[in-house]
Homo-oligomer: A and B are copies of this chain.
Amino acid sequence: MRASVPITVDGLKSACSQCNLVELCLPFGMSDRELSRLDELVGARRKVKRQHNLYRAGDSFEAIYAIRAGSFKTDVLLEDGREQVTGFQMTGEILGLDGISTEAHSCNAVALEDSEVCVIAYDKLEQMSHEIEGLQLQFHKVMSREIVRDHGVMMLLGSMRAEERLAAFLLNMSQRFTARGFSPSEFNLRMTREEIGSYLGLKLETVSRAFSRFQEDGLIAVQQKHVHLLDLAGLKRLIQHQHGAR
């Protein structure tokens, strides 16, 4: 059992207008004037320690969260204990959108490392969306992007083979690290093989074997959580031409 939520709300005002994550986060595409108004919206920051929950399924929904530092996973649990990881989130990405529909969260959000989020009270967001032109549109785009992402995961889970899934996962990570100014080809994963497996609908052994296979084939170099993508094009080819198929 994991320890329960040790919330640390420090009073620090988070200013979107000062934040270097603007192009990745909710304020994307907004004017300077709009941006300064947005600073009112983001109430406080909250630190979440590794392995601790930002929220849990069933928690009443009050706010959405923008990741300022660190990373998270979201998962849903079945009564019999089976876990499905529904996503991994990095800086600038928004957590908690699932809660709007029923006013309670429907999944768990767990920090993969010591992390910090900006708390955006939902009622304030609603209100401010009426006032700030670009905010409403941008918020809709964030939600829509999540829907599109989810469809991609369905494609992955429903129609791809184990190695294709892992290749798609690695390319997706690469792309997101790149967008954050990191190397497209070398990074440290924050999640375990088991979590990757849960996300990809595979067992951890299968994930591990696929990593080894990619290494044998010269596509990547892995050591534990450190991944070096040696042949981006090769990985992409893997996804498109369903090789084993006739």
Contact = CB atoms under 8 A, between A and B. Distances in A.
Q: Is the interface of A mostly helix, strand, loop or mixed?
A: helix
Interface string A148-173: 10111111011100000000000000
Give the one of A100, A102, A199 with max B CB within 10 A: A100
B144 A100 contact: yes
A17 interface: no
A76 interface: yes
B107 A151 contact: yes
A76 B159 CA distance: 11
A222 to B, nearest CB: 23
B201 A159 contact: yes
A137 B141 contact: no
B241 A80 contact: yes
Contact of A78 (B78, B126, B155): B155
A158 to B, nearest CB: 4
Interface in A197-224: 198-201
A143 B147 contact: yes
Sorted nearest first, the 5 A-B pairs with minimum C-beta distance are: A100-B144, A158-B201, A150-B150, A157-B157, A101-B144
Given A84-B155, A100-B143, A101-B148, 13 more contacts: A74-B151, A78-B155, A80-B242, A84-B151, A85-B158, A86-B154, A97-B144, A100-B140, A100-B141, A100-B144, A101-B141, A129-B130, A129-B136
